[in-house]
Amino acid sequence: MKILVVGAGGREHALAWKFLQSAKVTDVFVAPGNGGIAADSRLNQIDIDVMDFDALSQLVLDQAIDLTVVGPEGPLVAGIQAHFSAKGLACLAPSAEAAQLEGSKSFTKEFMQRHRIPTAAFQAFTEINEAEAYARSLGLPVVIKADGLAAGKGVVVAQTIEEADAAINDMLAGNVYGEAGSKVVVEAFLPGEEASFIVLADGDQYLVFATSQDHKAIFDGDQGPNTGGMGAYSPAPIVTKAVSQRVCDEIIEPTLKGLLAEQIHYTGFLYAGLMINDEGAPSVVEFNCRFGDPETQPIMMRLQSDLAEVCLAAVEHRLDQQSLVFSDEAALAVVVASQGYPGDYATGAVISGLDAALHSQIFHAGTKLEEDDLKVNGGRVLALVACAPTVAKAQAIVYQDLERVQFEGQYYRRDIGYRAVAREGI
């Protein structure tokens, strides 16, 4: 079986790495991939943009690729699924309609309200005055979100009314997020601890992946602006068996049923970003129509089942015959970024130490291969991931290995996994 992975990040590198382990898979293509994928002789890196559906489907036809798996939200929201399906090509991806669960926060909030799926109180606005008045009525802290896609960065948790007003003005008048900010969602702050809950769905059936937790903020202690994610680990201890059951009963099933009731057949990965309160009650902070990045990296390290087999089963609507098995070990990923990210950052620095005898797995993101050099080519550059019996041990392995991997302007958080490590210490 030949597989195409669409995307360029650490998530796609980890998916491609996992596909290579399948006895059924003979070839793995990644478009456009990154430097780490280009440097790996077992993977075929192809220079095609994720939004160039014609070129991607032509590649699939030319190479007789059996299954395409899409990583990032951009092509999903833009309708890659319909493009492939019109050509009779198997593509594991939700339709553009289904991908609105990520592409439009107001669509998702209204959908959750219709189907009584637990989430924070909210309203959507295009008028500044109305948004400010509603923010005041909710009390502090209050959360202001740009409606469209903003790469995980269009959210402000305002601690003061001034901050809330400024965020509303930036988004609606200041055009800070462009089209994505032409509408804002103002919502109540949910207290608790976050976790990522990812399933693979084929309409009405689904398989649950191992839980995970990511660190979105740029600085230690979860401080500073949000990023795409600076590190993640799996499992998330906050999601006990009982909590997991509640998530399935109160969130995943009503979501898939609600979509079907609205004639939307959801096939693909569905990621629920959750807030779990003190009583173990889960609420949805956001949905993503894809796998998480960097959550994919530790989850794939723990996955023992054949990923190609389950992805094909999802496309063929036979997930009832499948299961997912995960190692009992914990896995932890630390993302190495280029200084300045999530703002402006430098590119071009040569990365050294990747050939050292590391105990971690390396998944590349913003890298490119030039001659024999791997160079920085993005904000999140790569991630190191280790598995161990405890999160603390996995964390120790990754941080030790990170002493060897170096480039100019390198930045990473020093505390990835701190909540889980503190729990293990009890």
Q: Kindly list the residues in this chain that would bind ligand GLY in the complex (CB under 6 A).
A: 152, 214, 229, 288, 292-293, 295
Please, which residue, 22 or 234, has the CB nearer to ligand GLY? 234
Residue 293 binds: one of ligand AMP, ligand GLY, none (C-beta under 5 to 8 A by kind):
ligand GLY
140 forms part of the interface with ligand AMP (CB under 6 A) = no
Binding part of the chain for ligand AMP, among 87-95, 185-193, 199-207, 247-255 by CB under 6 A, reads 185-193
The option from ligand GLY, ligand AMP, none interacting with 214 (CB < 5 to 8 A, set by class) reads: ligand GLY
How many CA atoms lie within 13 Å of 229's alpha carbon, on the beta-carbon side? 28
Inter-residue contact 411 to 334 (CB < 8 Å): no
Position 303, amino acid: L
DSSP 320: G
First to last CA, the chain: 47
| The binder of ligand AMP chosen from 118, 273, 294, 298 (CB under 6 A) | 273
189 near ligand AMP (CB under 6 A): yes
226 lies in the binding site for ligand AMP (CB under 6 A) = yes
Query: What is the maximum alpha-carbon separation in the chain?
Result: 59
Among 4, 65, 120, 210, binds ligand AMP (CB under 6 A): 120
CB 333 → ligand GLY: shortest distance, Å? Answer: 10
Selected range binding ligand AMP among 79-87, 182-190, 237-245, 315-323, rule: CB under 6 A: 182-190
Angle between helices 161-172 and 128-138 (to 10 degrees): 150
Contact between 155 and ligand AMP by CB under 6 A: the answer reads yes
Q: Which residue in the set 16, 190, 369, 416 belongs to the binding site for ligand AMP (CB under 6 A)?
A: 190
User: How far, in Å, CA of 99 to CA of 290, rounded?
Assistant: 9
274 contacts which partner out of ligand GLY, ligand AMP, none, CB within 5 to 8 A by kind? none
In whole angstroms, how close is the CB of 272 to ligand GLY at the nearest point? Answer: 11
Contact between residue 215 and residue 232 where contact means Cβ atoms under 8 Å apart: yes
Helix, strand, coil percentages in the chain from 3-state DSSP, rounded to 5: 35, 30, 35
For residue 314, the tally of other CB atoms under 10 A from its CB is 24
107 binds ligand AMP (CB under 6 A): no
Number of residues that bind ligand AMP (CB under 6 A): 15
Q: Which is nearer to ligand GLY, 181 or 294 (CB)?
A: 294
Please give the structure tokens belonging to residue 139: 């009390």
Q: How many CB atoms lie within 10 A of CB 87?
A: 14
Q: Are 60 and 4 in contact (CB under 8 A)?
A: yes
For the bound state, the minimum distance from the C-beta of residue 271 to ligand GLY, rounded and expressed in Å, comes to 7
Q: Which does 229 bind (CB under 5 to 8 A by kind): ligand GLY, ligand AMP, none?
A: ligand GLY
3-state DSSP assignment of residue 323 = coil
Question: Least distance from C-beta 296 to ligand AMP, angstroms?
Answer: 16
Q: Give the residue from 299, 329, 331, 277 showing the smallest Cα distance to 211.
A: 299
Closest residue to ligand GLY using C-beta atoms: 229
Nearer to ligand AMP, 191 or 425 (CB): 191
Nearer to ligand AMP, 216 or 290 (CB): 216
Q: Which of 121, 93, 112 is nearest to 257 (CA)?
A: 112
Alpha-carbon gap, residue 158 to 42, rounded angstroms: 47
For 312, the enclosing helix (H) or strand (E) is: helix 307-315
Residue 176 CA to residue 154 CA, distance in Å, equals: 9
Site track for ligand AMP across 280-309, x = CB under 6 A: -----xx-----------------------
Interaction partner, residue 292 (ligand AMP, ligand GLY, none; CB < 5-8 Å by kind): ligand GLY
H or E stretch covering 395: helix 391-402
- Tell me the residue length of the chain: 426
User: Which residues bind to ligand AMP, rule: CB under 6 A?
Assistant: 120, 143, 145, 152, 155, 157, 187, 189-190, 194, 216, 226, 273, 285-286
